[in-house]
A = this chain, B = another copy of it.
Amino acid sequence: MMTIELDHQKKIPFYEQIYKYVRNEIKNGSLKKNEKLPSSRKLASHLEISRNTVDMAYAQLVSEGYIAAIPKRGYFVCELEEALPRQPLEDDWIEEEDEERNQYAIDFSPNGVDMDNFPYNQWRKLMKEVMITDNSELFQSGDPQGDREFRNVLRLYLHQSRGVNCQENQIIIGAGMDYLLLLLGMLLGNENKIAFENAVYPQAYKVFQSLGFQSERIPLDGQGMVVEDLERSLCSVAYVTPSHQYPTGIVMPINRRLKLLAWANQQEGRYIIEDDYDSEFRYQGRPIPALQGNDRKGNVIYLGTFSKGIAPAIRVSYMVLPQSLYKRFKEKFSFYSSTVSRIDQAVITRFMKEGYYERHLNRMRGIYKSKHDCLVNALKQFGSRISIFGESAGLHLLVQYHGEKKKEELLLFAKNQGIRVYPLADYQLEEGQGEPIFILGFARLSEEEIEKGISILRDIW
């Protein structure tokens, strides 16, 4: 008879203690195959517990296949495949977290946004309105492309603010740009060769690379991607950032846009991917309208995100497909469930419909303009030792250094003072010739930090 020392102190119920005991005995071979277990009546009386408790333990062992119940004969130990010996795990395989970020007191990162001025109260209020029992339908799975009301509000916004022409059916909501690029890559098929700008947004380049796409970096002139070089490249897809080239800040003028559209239209199956990543923020004049608005033949795929306008953490982006690709999407990929929380979709829908988004963008435009101007003013201390490019828009600008020091020296000097700047060379295929250029983002820094950072750089550069 099995003697199981039941622990009356432990919170674990008796049936679970019995189940675990028997399971271990079987696993370690103390109970052999085909061995008969005591009947539940006998074991219960032996352990002075109720028979029901033993029955529960046995039932669990039966469901998991450790023992079998043979009618009128009782419970028998099943034959187990030889259990595999445990392989020791390497202890050292947890790698260290990247601590580099914290080494810098002042980080001119081009990523991130100012979250000190986010309308948390309004957002909480909308969240509260959405998170109610009456909305329980909203908590079931939703439209794979994103909820129709959200897409409709977004369509209006894109039309009014960006000049994008589309129906809400062409819009696909996804959890971040990388996800949408992944979906788009699968949709296009990696038999296409893809042209990137040089310098390039590295995430987009990496996504298409991970999907096995061949690619080529096309040079930029003062108006953006050089279409003659694109022609020569044998690429059938061009990835561009026409409203504010990332990271150089070039605005693609209408003529180059039309040339690019003409290129796409020359041959069946050519597409332009327009990444409109930070078009919300322009500090002079009106926003530059999207290239998609000039597309007459359905060659432009438009991509945008709420990462800059709301917050990077919420993971909501959107893609507008031309008709031909939308049809392919519906056939092949529309079964993929949506990657964006419907609660978030409902909150953003209200945030836009009730005018909060526009007000927030207007406010942030003021705040960013002030940080931008503060950075430009601070940089004037350098006099003719630097030139500034790509200003008046977005959340970063470019600084070219006209001194004796090399890029590596400048970076090291800055790092030693706890300041991080980003070399443009990291975004380029080949190291650019000539004087080094750095990217300076300002969204997350306060004006004091900007001034302090630049004043230190002036002293050490």
Contacts and interface: CB of A to CB of B under 8 A. Distances in A.
A89 B141 CA distance: 31
Given A87-B297, A258-B81, A286 B19 contact: yes
A95 B170 CA distance: 11
B341 A314 contact: yes
A265 interface: yes
Interface string A73-110: 00000111111111101100111010000000000000
Interface string A294-306: 1011100000000
A361 B140 CA distance: 17
A112 B142 CA distance: 10
B60 A138 contact: no
A80 B336 contact: no
A203 B335 CA distance: 8
Contacts of A336: 178-179, 182, 207, 210
A131 interface: yes
Copies in the complex: 2
Interface string A135-179: 011111110000010000000000000000001010000011111
B337 A178 contact: yes
A3 interface: no
Nearest to A115: B136
Contacts of A373: none
A259 interface: yes
A55 to B, nearest CB: 10
A177 B337 CA distance: 8
Interface string A311-328: 111110000000100010
Contact of A116 (B133, B167, B179, B210): B133
A253 to B, nearest CB: 2
Given A60-B286, A85-B296, A262-B84, A312 B203 contact: no
Interface in A250-269: 251-259, 261-262, 265
A461 to B, nearest CB: 28
A230 to B, nearest CB: 14
Interface string A57-76: 00110011110000000000
What 9 pairs between A and B have smallest CB-CB spacing?
A65-B253, A81-B258, A175-B339, A115-B136, A313-B342, A139-B311, A141-B312, A60-B285, A65-B254
